Every structure is written in C-alpha cells, then in structure tokens.
Amino acid sequence: MPELPEVETTVKGINSRVLNRTFVNLWTDSESIIKKPEFKEFEKEIKGKKILRAFRRGKNIIIELSGGYSMLIHQKMTGHLLYGKWKLKNGVWESEEEGFMRDPKNQFIRLMFFLDNEKMLALSDLRKFAKVELYKPGELEKSESFKKLGPEPLEEGFNFKKFKGIFQNKKGKIKQTLMDQELMVGVGNIYSDEALWQAKIHPLKETSKLTEEELEKLFQAIKDVLKKGIILGGESFADYRNIDGKKGEFDDERKAYKREGEKCYSCKTIIKRIKIGGRSACFCPSCQTL
C-alpha cells in the first residue's frame, strides 16, 4: 500500500502536471471505486471542475477543485495515479506514450478522467480497492474518517514531546502501534520495518515498555526513513508507480522490508519475517532483540 512518501510523491506529480486543468469527462469499468456520492451524481458534479491544487493528509490525496469542492483519493493496496494519453482498444486502455507507461503495473486502468488539454488522469488499480470521494464545500473537514486521522510525523510542530505523548503507555506491539493511523499518519508496513530496524527495536516489543532512549531513536528513525522515501520518490517493490509511470528508487535503500533470508546490513545476521496481527514484519533477530 502506498504510504506517506508514495502519496507525497503522487501529490507533487499532480501539482506539477495538472494544475488549472479542467475535467471534461470520465470513464470507469468499476463504479464501486466511487464511494461518495453515487456514480451518476459524481459524474455530473466532476465535469467542469478545475484542479486548483493537491495536498496530502495521511495516506489520502486531496485535490481541491473549483467551487470549493474537494476530491479525496485513497490508493489502497495497488492503486496509483498516472498522467498521460491513452486510447481504448478492444476494451483495454493502451498508452500512446513509449517508456514507463508500458510497465505492466500501469495497465490496470479502472478510472479515467479526461482533461481539457486532451490528456488524461488515470487510476490504475489491480485489485480495485482504491476509493474516490467527492465532497461539497466544508464537508471534508467534518467527515468522520478525516477527523480521526492522527498528526503528521513530518509537520514542523511534531516534536519528540508530542511523539512521546502519543506512544508512551500505549498497549500493543510497536509494529502495530506505528501503523495506527489514528495515532500518527502515513506509516505502514514498509516504513515501520525500516524505522524499527534503524532504531534497533524488535517489532514485537510492547509499546508501553519502550524506554525514553528507544523512543528518541524511533522518533528520529521515522523522520529519517520518511524523508529519504520522499527524496527517492517512494518504494516500488510491488505495484506503486509515480504519476509518470516510473518506479520509485527507495527499493535499493531497504534495510529490512521484504529482505527475509538476506543478510542484515549491520551485523550480517539473516533477516527474519514474522506475522503480527495479519501483517508481516521483517527484522534482524540480532540487532533488534526483545
């Protein structure tokens, strides 16, 4: 699932490619992706709306539109936005551009927005889990799912004191706690593995038992891996691609995530994988002890 760096990369792509463009039409083969309002109303409302700016809140992409409307896109497990030009051939969208758009991961077009410059903003999503919602003026900030989101780990005011207050005395394993979007947004399976490896904390350690020193190391590690993820354009081990269809470059920086059976970069011990609450965690059993 795209996490904070991947979503931030997509937002930057939207802001550099499609600002001031207007939606003139749309197509979908999966109306269920549109969660709010029902599809016919969404189709009617979106036409003629101009893209003013995009920003990120947690793992959500927010596109501000003319008339005070906001469109929320959550890419979920396998979704990513693409900007280019396609043609429909035998029921399949084919890119008219050579290069990255021909990547097989970019071929699962589920939703296509036609723009006023004869180009398109497309949503590719293998598993069809992504969601799109359109909010009228003032609705987004009042929505329950939006209000429940925790603080942003990279915002200027998010200091160690606030971080400590959020995670200290919380029950549960630290791996799961890090991914709780009501406590802090943007961190998922990828960057929790990476931050825990850097901070040398076992993913099964009880959150409430972390020492002050461990919390400080974890706080810094989270900021480090997220910032590096943004600089490198995200992680594309699986499905994620940026708006130009290109892979992110964080894959070569992975120290723990998806490295089961490989040697730890620090001590050469073999990286192990365990299951925690239905999710995987990769870690070094030597560096990250309980």
Catalytic machinery residues: 2-3, 59, 279
Pairing mode of beta strands 131-135, 86-89? unpaired
**Residue length, the chain?**
290
Query: Which residues have C-beta within 8 Å of that of residue 166, sequence separation ≥ 6?
Result: 150, 151, 183, 184
Q: Cα 184 vs. chain centroid, distance in angstroms?
A: 14
How far the first Cα of the chain sits from its last, in Å, is 28
CA dist 236 and 188 (Å) reads 14
Q: What Cα–Cα distance (Å) separates residue 192 from each residue in 44, 200, 239, 245, 252? A: 41, 12, 18, 25, 17
Query: Which residues have C-beta within 8 Å of that of residue 197, sequence separation ≥ 6?
Result: 255, 256, 283, 284, 287, 288
Pairing mode of beta strands 109-115, 23-28? antiparallel
CA dist 181 and 1 (Å) reads 13
